[in-house]
Amino acid sequence: MRQVYLDHQSATPLLPEALDAMRPFLTEAFGNPSSLHQLGLRAREAMHHARVQIAALLNAESPEDIFFTSDGQESANLAVKGVAYANQRKGHHIVCSETEHPAVLNSIEFLEKQGFTCTKVKVDRQGFVNPDEVRAVITDQTILVAVHHVNHDIGAIEPVKAIGRIAAERGVPFYVDAEASAGWLPIDVQAFGANLLSFSPHKLYGPKGVGVLYRNKKARLVSILHGGVQEGGRRAGIENVPAIVGAGVAAELALRDMPQRIAHTARLQRKLWEQLQARVPYLQLNGPEPGPHRISTNLNISTEFIEGEGQLLRCDVHGIAVASGSSCVSKSLKISHVLAAIGLNHALAQGNLIMSLGKDNTDEDIDYVVETFAEKVVAPLRAMSPMWDEFERGLIDSAIHPRGQGKSFAAHAATISGKH
Amino acid sequence: MSDNYTLYNQTVMDHFLNPRNLGDLKDADGVGEVGAAACGDIMKISLKIEDGKIKDARFKTFGCGSAIASSSMATELIKGRSIEEAMSFSNQEVVSALGGLPPVKIHCSVLAEEALKAALEDYLKKHPEMAARVQPKAEAPPA
Ligand code: FES
């Protein structure tokens, strides 16, 4: 059976070049980079080289502005809490978008319990933040503006340059979560006006267990992990040297191969979306159309009248790895907060599936996915769905292509669950 | 190490991938359709009842893997039972017959119990003579 991996936004395979570079640091070069002998100095030197490679990917002013953590989410915690604590004498107000990753939203929520306040800027139906709305909510008390480069669920590319200019005008540090874009879109922290930017190398063919935080001197930042003076005193704890070395190689190759990776995934993304539409009726794309405003790796779709976990499981049985933002998939039984923010109705959010492409996917993969999805996933699940049946009998209507016949799914669901 | 990992156990996966009693009964004597308040799923069970016994059962489900497996298993379990027996059917029976469900998925089996009871209620509404016979039990206070 063909195996098709379409979950590159969760993790990517490690590059052989990265593994080769890491190997000595898992074996003979085991020194602690804080040690002052040969083994320690070798590890320190290797980390410096990785900082240079990563600074190049981000167009950072200096490799000294690159900090290593355990993961992109830790980087987000450090960016949000570290800037908030460092600036709490100046003010307590944070501005972010409502579709940020939970690492950002939940860090802010934690701070709110300690007296910080937050204004969440709304997004439009495609998931875009309006820079003017950011401008309107910044106050004299604002100490941080946090807006992600690309949304992890729906692939919307945010106007970070415009937002960066506004933050700079008001003298407020600007943090960009680049988890979904690093390695897949050009990043220029100077052009973005970003004072902080974070990502996880395991999303660009590097290893897990390492996160990157870029921070320039204009943003004051205090540590949230205390102990030794690692990472310039910004993060206590021994650095994961092998992973950092691998991250450096992955960043270097991402920069070198970026034009080809973008062109390849963009072509497959278009093909996948066009063919899915042709094969599966009552299908909707969430987020912007493939093109300049959507990252080339992400396709987020809703298939009407069936639920997402069932789709995911059936895909998996046929060798296709995907993700879903359905309420049944989440541990909290809530639909993805991003899908809610763009105003997707509950039933469509439940039928959600996220396919994320990578550099090694092929045309044959796409053909297989389209055929399998139509025949082995959607067809049997619709045959099981009372909603599909009631739609076919004209009792309920489609939200995607309304026929003007029958009541809405939402109204129907409300009636039958009303008695509970 | 296994080379096949599953989110659910093999019994659940089997009922999800090869559901038993899928569909509608054309001349159903009772039909129940319920929605889950928690995640928004919908389940429909139709019953064929003869001589106070469940002769046949079918289901349709819009929901997750364990919701589909639960409705498949529930319809298997209740076939052949008397109305009185079916009235006291519990989701726990579905869970154990399936060999367990993850804690966050127990509510999916509750939906199967509710769909079955809604179908029985529908039948009893149309057959007051039967309702009179089973009512004392049906109205017994919940344990
Ligand atoms: S039906 Fe939604 S979690 Fe099972």
Give the CATH number for residue A137: 3.40.640.10
Q: A328 in ligand 1 pocket by Cβ < 6 Å?
A: yes
Q: How many domains does chain A have?
A: 2
Q: What is the pLDDT of residue A416?
A: 78
The atom number, within ligand 1, closest to the CA of A326 reads 2
Residue A346 lies in a domain: yes
* Domain closes at, from A225, A255, A285: A255
Spell out which residues of chain A touch residue B24, defining contact as CB-CB under 8 Å: 389
Angle formed at CA A331 by CA A75 and CA B106, multiple of 5 degrees: 165
- Residues A53, A135, single domain; the answer is yes
| C-alpha of residue B123 to centroid of ligand 1, in Å | 27
| C-alpha of residue B10 to centroid of ligand 1, in Å | 18
Residue A11 lies in a domain: no
A324 has a chain B CB within 8 A of its CB: no
Using H for helix, E for strand and C for coil, what is the string for chain A?
CCCEECECCCCCCCCHHHHHHHHHHHCCCCCCCCCCCHHHHHHHHHHHHHHHHHHHHHCCCCHHHEEEECCHHHHHHHHHHHHHHHCCCCCCEEEEECCCCHHHHHHHHHHHCCCCEEEEECECCCCCECHHHHHHHCCCCEEEEECCCECCCCCEECCHHHHHHHHHHCCCCEEEECCCCECCECCCHHHHCCCEEEECHHHCCCCCCCEEEEECCCCCCCCCCCCCCCHHHCCCCCCCHHHHHHHHHHHHHHHHHHHHHHHHHHHHHHHHHHHHHHHCCCEEECCCCCCCCECCCEEEEEECCCCHHHHHHHHHHCCEECECCCCCCCCCCCCCHHHHHCCCCHHHHHCEEEEECCCCCCHHHHHHHHHHHHHHHHHHHHHHCHHHHHHHCCCEECCCCCCCCCEEHHHHHHHHHCCC
Please state, in angstroms and rounded to a whole number, the distance separating the CA atoms of residues A125 and A287. 7
- Residues A271, A247, single domain; the answer is no
**Alpha-carbon torsion (A380, B112, B106, A334), positive or negative:** positive
- Residues A204, A303, single domain; the answer is no
- Residues A295, A234, single domain; the answer is no
Tokens (6 digits) for A279: 């094969």
* Domain closes at, from A187, A221, A255: A255
Spell out which residues of chain B touch residue A305, defining contact as CB-CB under 8 Å: 62
Q: Which of A126, A182, A130 is nearest to A159 (CA)?
A: A130
Spell out which residues of chain A touch residue B106, defining contact as CB-CB under 8 Å: none
- Residues A109, A227, single domain; the answer is yes
CA distance B20 to chain A (A): 11
Q: What is the pLDDT of residue A418?
A: 55
Residue A1 lies in a domain: no
Interchain proximity B36–A387, CB inside 8 Å? no
Please state, in angstroms and rounded to a whole number, the distance separating the CA atoms of residues A99 and A342. 9
Residue B9 clears pLDDT 60, i.e. is over it: yes
- Residues A229, A299, single domain; the answer is no
| C-alpha of residue A392 to centroid of ligand 1, in Å | 23
Residue B136 clears pLDDT 60, i.e. is over it: no
Residue B142 clears pLDDT 70, i.e. is over it: no
- Residues A246, A265, single domain; the answer is no
Please state, in angstroms and rounded to a whole number, the distance separating the CA atoms of residues A54 and A211. 11
The better pLDDT of the pair B113, B6 is held by B113
Cα torsion through B88, B91, B94, B100, rounded to 10: -140
Q: What is the pLDDT of residue A410?
A: 78
* H/E run at residue B42: strand B42-50
- Residues A188, A272, single domain; the answer is no
Residue B135 clears pLDDT 80, i.e. is over it: no
Residue A4 lies in a domain: no
Q: B13 in ligand 1 pocket by Cβ < 6 Å?
A: no
Q: What is the pLDDT of residue A419?
A: 44
Please state, in angstroms and rounded to a whole number, the distance separating the CA atoms of residues A120 and A146. 10
Which residue in the list B43, B68, B78, B108 is annotated as catalytic?
B108
* Domain closes at, from A255, A283, A303: A255
Q: Which of B95, B107, B109 to mutate to test the pocket of ligand 1 (most atoms within 8 A of CB)?
A: B107
Residue B139 clears pLDDT 80, i.e. is over it: no
Interface predicted TM-score of the whole assembly (ipTM), two decimals: 0.91
Q: Find where tokens 């309420």 sit.
A: A327
B104 has a chain A CB within 8 A of its CB: yes
Q: What is the pLDDT of residue B123?
A: 96
Q: B105 in ligand 1 pocket by Cβ < 6 Å?
A: yes
Q: What is the pLDDT of residue A70?
A: 98
- Residues A195, A82, single domain; the answer is yes
B7 has a chain A CB within 8 A of its CB: yes
Quote the pTM value: 0.94
Helix (H, G, I), strand (E, B) or coil at A78: helix
Residue A373 lies in a domain: yes
Q: Find where tokens 């540590």 sit.
A: A223
Tokens (6 digits) for A356: 């994320």
Q: In terms of residue numbers, what domain contains A348?
A: 259-417
- Residues A292, A226, single domain; the answer is no
Residue A9 lies in a domain: no
- The residue whose C-alpha atom lies closest to atom 2 belonging to ligand 1 is A328
Residue B137 clears pLDDT 60, i.e. is over it: no
Per-residue pLDDT tens listing for chain A (420 residues): 999 999 999 999 999 999 999 999 999 999 999 999 999 999 999 999 999 999 999 999 999 999 999 999 999 999 999 999 999 999 999 999 999 999 999 999 999 999 999 999 999 999 999 999 999 999 999 999 999 999 999 999 999 999 999 999 999 999 999 999 999 999 999 999 999 999 999 999 999 999 999 999 999 999 999 999 999 899 999 999 999 999 999 999 999 999 999 999 999 999 999 999 999 999 999 999 999 999 999 999 999 999 999 999 999 999 999 999 998 888 888 899 999 999 998 899 999 999 999 999 999 999 999 999 999 999 999 999 999 999 999 999 999 999 998 888 878 877 776 543
Residue A242 lies in a domain: yes
Q: What is the pLDDT of residue B2?
A: 62
* H/E run at residue A267: helix A241-279
- Residues A313, A353, single domain; the answer is yes
**CATH code assigned at A372:** 3.90.1150.10
Tell me the sheet residues that pair with B57: B47
Residue A271 lies in a domain: yes
- Residues A246, A264, single domain; the answer is no
